[in-house]
Each structure stands twice: as C-alpha cells, then as structure tokens.
Amino acid sequence: MRLGVLDVGSNTVHLLVVDAHRGAAPLPAYSHKTELRLAEHLDKDGKIAQSGADELVSFVKEASELAEDKGCESVLAFATSALREAPNGEKVLDRVREQTEVNLQVLTGEDEARLTFLAVRRWFGWSAGRLAVFDIGGGSLEIAAGSDEEPTVAVSVPLGAGRLTRESLTADPPDKDEVRKLRKRIRVEMAAVAGDVLRAGKPQRAVATSKTFRSLARICGAAPSDDGPYVPRSLSRDDLAEWMPKLVAMTAAERAELPGVSASRSTQLVAGALVADAVMDLFDLTSLEVCPWALREGVILSRLDQLQPR
C-alpha cells in the first residue's frame, strides 16, 4: 500500500510518501518539504501568529493534494512540540481541519520518543540488544531506552536546537558567555532525567537520529548522504570535542559551508552540538551510531502493525 506521512515539526513540515506493507521496510517514493519554522511564528504570548497559521494551512493543503496525486491510500498526519506547546494550538489545528480536511494528531513528547525508538529497533534488529536512542528536534530532545520494541523509559526534554538558539544565543558568531551559560542549562536539564534512563541499565548500543546528529556526524567525517542509508555512520565524542570550539567561532554563513550543513540549519548547529556533547558526556558514551530511520518511520511502522494480515 502507498501511505503518506505528513510531519509538522518545529523546523520543517515534511510530506513523505512510502510504499509499505506489514512485515517489510517502508520504501520512500516521494518527498516534499518546506522550512516553515513554525516555532519562530510566535507572538509575545507564545501563540502561533496569523502568518504561521496561514503558511501551515497552505502547505498542508498542498501536501494533501500531492498525496492524492501520488496515489496515497491514506495520510498519517502528526505535529510535534510547536503545536503541542502553543496556547492557541487547538485553534490552529481546528483551522487546518476545517480548511484542508486533514486531522493533525499532536504527539506527546513521550510518544515521539517511543515511536522513534520503535523505528531504531526495527532498523538494527534484536541483535542490537539494549538500546538507548537520542533525537534532537527543533523544540525538544527525545530519549528512550529498553530491550524490547516498547522502551522501558521514554522522556522528552525541552532541549531542541531551534528552541535553545532562539532563547539563548543572540550573536553571530555566538557570544562565549552565552555559550557557557547555555552549556550549563543543557547539562542541568538533561541530568534531571538521566538517572531514570541510566537506572534501567547501560545500553549495548547507543543510537542518534535527526538532522542535527546527521550533520554533526558528517562534519566529523561520516559518509555523505549520497552514499545511501546502509553505510554505517557514527559520531564520536572525541571528534565532536575537537570541532566544538571551531563551530562556536564560526558565523552561521561559515557553518553553512561545512559538509552536510544547510543554510537553514546552520544557525542552530552550535546549540545542537552542545546537546550532543552533553548526551555523550552525561550518559558516558564514547560514540553514537547514526540511524537513518526516526519518528516518521516509527509512525509508519506503528500504523502497519495495526493492520490485519491479509
């Protein structure tokens, strides 16, 4: 069957069309996305401004038409932290539903962690043993760990790269004092949940997903995306530590010249690197394996699991 997945994130709104059936890996057939940066369309009260709602409705309508053109049997539409946290999120969802007939499901942070964990488990399989999975989004960091397909622990922390950049880094290149204060904030907030994850046991495999981790791994020498998803990729703590002062000293434009870094993401890379560094330090990890599957694939796999065998 052909499915569409519409992912409304804090940075990107992404339609992914896949050919999938139960028991098989979903195969990407078409992709369409825009850097809407919904979390930046906020007023002083944290509400999504008219401009953001207008752009969201426009893209959802476009994505719905594209999914129909591509022959999708159904579209799984979901939203994450930007809509979850906005005081007027429900009103925006109602407007999207009324004007596009698309019902966006708002995932909790724990849902995001759980579904991402499912995708990583299916990618690496049972031989991976106990997994710890980390995903840096625009608005939040998701962490999940466990030995089964359902994680033993799944948590979400407001340490997304976009959020931290907006709230804490005002200069370009970043002010060293701001970087120091942000580093402390990240570690304090992450340490508050680290005990819950660590008490469940040391992972046999530590895995990272998301664009931020992929970009950092590429900067540190991992294979480019053109080499395909099956090439092993990882991010080492030592390599990231070597790159950290360089990234802090660069302007956003200079970071955008690095391999694997888009201009739209370059402003958030320092905050993302600080989160990645804290992950490996506080969880005592020398490296993280990078998984090409993440939340979208988890949503697809969960949906396929609900279907009755033919």
How confident is the model over 30-87, as pLDDT tens digits? 999 998 888 888 888 889 999 999 999 999 999 999 999 999 999 999 999 889 999 9
pLDDT at residue 264, as a whole number: 86
User: Is the pLDDT confidence value at 23 over 90?
Assistant: no
Mean pLDDT across the chain = 94
Q: How far is CA 309 from CA 21, 122, 143, 304, in A?
A: 10, 19, 32, 10
User: Is the pLDDT confidence value at 275 over 90?
Assistant: yes
pLDDT at residue 308, as a whole number: 56
Q: Is 250 helix (H, G, I), strand (E, B) or coil?
A: coil
State CA 54 to chain mean position distance: 23
Q: Is 303 helix (H, G, I), strand (E, B) or coil?
A: helix
pLDDT at residue 106, as a whole number: 95
How confident is the model over 244-270, as pLDDT tens digits? 999 999 999 999 999 999 998 999 999
CA geometry: angle 121, 137, 55, nearest 5 deg: 125
Confidence category of residue 229, pLDDT binned at 50, 70, 90: very high
- Calculate what percentage of the chain has a pLDDT beyond 90: 87
pLDDT at residue 310, as a whole number: 53
State CA 26 to chain mean position distance: 19
120 and 113 in contact (C-beta within 8 Å)? no
How confident is the model over 88-114, as pLDDT tens digits? 999 999 999 999 999 999 999 999 999
User: Which DSSP state fits 1?
Assistant: -
214 and 260 in contact (C-beta within 8 Å)? yes
pLDDT at residue 42, as a whole number: 85
pTM for the model: 0.95
Confidence category of residue 118, pLDDT binned at 50, 70, 90: very high
* Phi, psi (rounded to 5 degrees) for 209: -130, 170
Quickly list H helices, 43-144. Answer: 50-69, 81-85, 89-100, 109-124
State CA 301 to chain mean position distance: 17
115 and 297 in contact (C-beta within 8 Å)? no
